[in-house]
Chain A
Amino acid sequence: AQTVTQSQPEMSVQEAETVTLSCTYDTSESDYYLFWYKQPPSRQMILVIRQEAYKQQNATENRFSVNFQKAAKSFSLKISDSQLGDAAMYFCAYRSGRFPGTYKYIFGTGTRLKVLA
């Protein structure tokens, strides 16, 4: 079964600095999606960034970028120029299944990010 592991329960970063959140996953599939979701105190889950496994180029969304290492099954999130509003729980997720009707989204346990002023 596919699993997603986030080994950092909590991280802290100084405002305007850069932080990297780690995620590893286990799968035997070759085609899949990976995601990072942000959950602020409101508990609303917000998509931060998405990576398609067959694309070698790392995804980027403004201050957020990923380091996708397919062979190592690693998918880390880098937040540049950290802002107070980035403080939240961050979840790494993996979409399993090859065909519509088989898709399941598996989440890690999350990393709580604190941003220090």
Chain B
Amino acid sequence: SQTIHQWPATLVQPVGSPLSLECTVEGTSNPNLYWYRQAAGRGLQLLFYSVGIGQISSEVPQNLSASRPQDRQFILSSKKLLLSDSGFYLCAGDRGSGNTIYFGEGSWLTVV
């Protein structure tokens, strides 16, 4: 079965500092990968998705970027964090079939 690992689980970063959240997938090849942000009362907001190495689609213009350097690796980054970047970030993936999406454990980001 597909397993998604995500880290770090928690981080506190000052405004203006860089960010790197990493996600890796086990148990499948060529997955579609997704980054979501969960803010209180707003559900899951899709930030980026990727259908393959180097292929990134952005859903929401913002201070963040994503990269996929390997088939089963997905990275969320920022050069300079804003207070509004605080939230719970979830990496997710499907097997390419589109019939189920699996999630990592999530990362809590607090920008201070």
**What residues make up the interface of A, taking CB atoms closer than 8 Å to B?**
6, 9, 33, 35, 43-45, 47, 50, 52, 91, 93, 95, 97, 100-101, 103-110
Contact = CB atoms under 8 A, between A and B. Distances in A.
A100 B96 CA distance: 6
A44 B98 contact: no
B99 A43 contact: no
A44 B92 contact: no
Contacts of B36: 107
B104 to A, nearest CB: 9
A105 B48 CA distance: 11
B44 A101 contact: no
Contacts of B100: 35, 47, 50
Contacts of A50: 99-100
Contacts, number: 57
Nearest to A32: B98
B46 interface: yes
Given A47-B100, A52-B99, A103 B46 contact: no
A55 B36 CA distance: 29
B97 A100 contact: yes
B25 to A, nearest CB: 15
A44 B100 CA distance: 15
B101 A109 contact: no
Given A43-B88, A45-B90, A45-B103, A100 B43 contact: no
A59 to B, nearest CB: 12
Given A44-B105, A44-B106, A103 B94 contact: yes
Nearest to B106: A43
Interface in B64-81: none
B98 A95 contact: yes
